[in-house]
Amino acid sequence: MLESFSSVDSSRTAPTEWLLARIAGPNRAAAIMGDLTEMAATRGRLWFWATYTRTLITLGWRTPVAAFLLAIASMRFFVGTVIRWLMYRRGSHLMDAGLFSNTHLRLISWNLAMLMAQFLTFALPFILVRFGLRNRLTQLTCALFLIAMPVYSLRPWFLDLTSLLIVVAVAAALALPLWRRPLIVLAGMGITAVAWRVPFLMGLARVYRRHLPYLSNSTVVLSDTIAFALAAIVCVYLYRRLLERPPASDRTIA
């Protein structure tokens, strides 16, 4: 006769509940494991493991994949449609303002502000769908997104003001303990994307120097997809390490 699952030492089921809690949360994981264990007493181990695996897949893929696809679509829309249209309309005026500025610091600040704005068009949808609106990481990302969006006007004085406000906002987040860890998570996400994207495109430009204009669109899409997939993985990892509260059983009363 097949041994019932409930007869197995409960300590052996702890890893299964821990893994499920990483996806569904500790309270929901405990409830699901309780139901599965109770039904497995009559249906057997094979049914338990099949249902447990199906539950992991069902709960685990939907939100992260939906968040990632929405974020990629948002970023591609801004970069491929909005930015291209704005550059066509105001690119020459922006170029003249940059060329006749008295310092390279202005151009550097503009480039950094544009880079951050582009990154946030991916980061905000992903973080919002993945973690919810009431999360501190989402709130910080939303605030930086609103500060950075005026760069898409491509007006020099908007770019100057936005660059200054971004620096002030980042400095304030670093100074405040409540927002320091969310900023670290967001920075790790951005650094990961840049660390992949820049060397990838520079290396590709060297290899396909003559043919790069014909491959530019497909290679940029590929580069963005890989870069932001890695950024999303780093974001979730850092969030769990720095911001996610441990289960109640792991906390003690100080």
DSSP secondary structure letters along 161-221:
HHHHHHHHHHHHHHHSHHHHHHHHHHHHHHHHHHHHHHHHHHHHHHHTTTTHHHHHHHHHH
Name the residue among 196, 164, 200, 169 with its Cα closest to residue 182: 169
pLDDT in tens, 224-236: 788 888 888 899 8
* pLDDT tens column, 5-28: 444 444 344 577 777 776 666 777
What's the rounded Cα separation, in Å, for the pair 136 and 181? 9
142: number of Cβ within 10 Å? 16
pLDDT-based confidence at 91, cuts 50/70/90? Answer: low
What tens digit of pLDDT does each residue of 127-176 get? Answer: 988 888 889 999 999 999 999 988 877 777 888 899 999 999 999 999 99
pLDDT in tens, 24-47: 667 778 888 888 888 888 888 888
Q: State phi, psi for 2 to the nearest 5 degrees.
A: -70, 130
How many of the other CB atoms lie within 10 Å of CB of 207?
8
The residue written with tokens 């069902």 in the block is 58
**What's the predicted TM-score (pTM) here?**
0.65
Distance CA 141, CA 133 (A): 10
